[in-house]
Structure 1
């Protein structure tokens, strides 16, 4: 049975943020699905709740697990939710986790400041969309620049979702995780603030820092992020299929090194 990938988007955006990854995985013959969380994308009309967000991930994981071992991949809020899900009291059917741009505990002064800034931007003309477009134009390659907005921006959901995240016991959840775990952060990502803590809580995890990228690491340098996914798939395959050798893992790791070196 081949590895199945479930992709969970970040706050405000939707499943469309994963277009580059989905295209790459299709080319590689790796099955993948990207979900829309409540209040986002195709579910913009719904209220956001933690219960429904975690239920959405659970439904996708359980379905994918009928076809093979599951690699769960989350970005930002999706990464935090995925960490909470995999590290929950009930061990889910997940064989590995890639948690991108989410090594920060969503609580205290940091979260309060983030919410205050988000609310201030939301009160600007056009709800601050002109700022978002300028930032994306300055930092994101053209081929992935419009993926974040393609499913619409969940502006009305943002503050509710941020407030909900503060109730997660992420420290306990991360410490419970026993499956292969990769933290992927951009060099200039503001959510690296608790990076060392997350590594201490999950000493078996691997940390990958992508140079010259911000919080939007999946879109700024998609080739590197895609190579990380290929490495994670190879690692899971090597543990679940005796026909997959260590050489396959080494090849995937070497490909990640080649891609990263080309883009330095």
Structure 2
């Protein structure tokens, strides 16, 4: 059966953004679970905190047997890093995508001001969000990311919580294999070399032609990375069992 895979979505989206990967993992015979973070998807209206987000990952892994390969994108990647540092026994490997930038308070404050302004629009920014999704994503990706609805009112809470995040410090505590996956044109890859150096066992994958939402823009390439990561984790587990 192999190691289960738990997938953690990005900001404003939901578990439905992982439809392509879940289907591919199912075909490969792997258990796959995509979760909703607080304030997103089926959990819209809940308060987002980093502690609650990490707990959502913890409960998702418990649901698939207590240990998994964790795959996260953007907010989900940062959450996966934080979870791996706090619950190491649950994590067999980590794919952290589109999250190789250190949160910087002045930038977060600027984004927060912009987010509050967008929330004051008559539709809370729904039309703007929809236009951007259709402009930036292939048709199938736009459909998948929209299927779970957009969490338009959670951005300010997420940005507030990001000020206390320490992804480099957390990565330094992660002892399992880590894959940093970034689109070639991702604006969140500015510190990817620092992130790679922080890893005890890390590797960097840059997907040509892809942007920030790499799993939606290049789903086949991204899925291949996840399947290869799962296979490597399984091989490591078999090797450890043989040595023992």
How many residues align structurally? 239
- Indicate if the aligned counterparts of 2:175 and 2:200 stay in contact, CA closer than 8 A: no
Is 1:140 matched up with 2:137?
A: yes
CA RMSD of aligned residues (A): 1.6
SS of the residue 1:65 aligns to: coil
Q: 1:10, 1:144 → 2: CA distance?
A: 13
**Unaligned regions of 5+ residues in structure 2, if any?**
240-244
Partners of 2:82 and 2:139 in 1: CA distance: 33
**1:1-264 equivalent positions in 2, closer than 5 A:** 2-66=2-66, 69-88=67-86, 90-202=87-199, 204-241=201-238
CA contact (8 A) 1:9 1:36 kept: yes
Task: Report the TM-score, using the length of structure 1 for normalisation.
Answer: 0.85
**Cα deviation, residue 100, structure 1:** 0.6
1:135 and 1:161 mapped to 2: Cα distance? 20
Normalised by the length of structure 2, the TM-score is: 0.92
Find the counterpart in structure 2 of residue 246 from structure 1.
none
In structure 1, how many angstroms separate the alpha carbons of the residues matched to 2:191 and 2:145?
25
8 Å CA contact 1:85–1:92 kept in 2: the answer is no
Which residue matches 1:256? none
Structure 1 equivalent of residue 242 of structure 2? none
User: For 1:190, what is the secondary structure of its paired residue?
Assistant: coil
Contact 1:10 1:77 in 2 (8 A): yes
| Structure 1 portions without partners, runs of 5+ | 243-264
1:63 deviation in Å? 3.0
Report if the CA contact (8 A) 2:185-2:210 is conserved.
yes
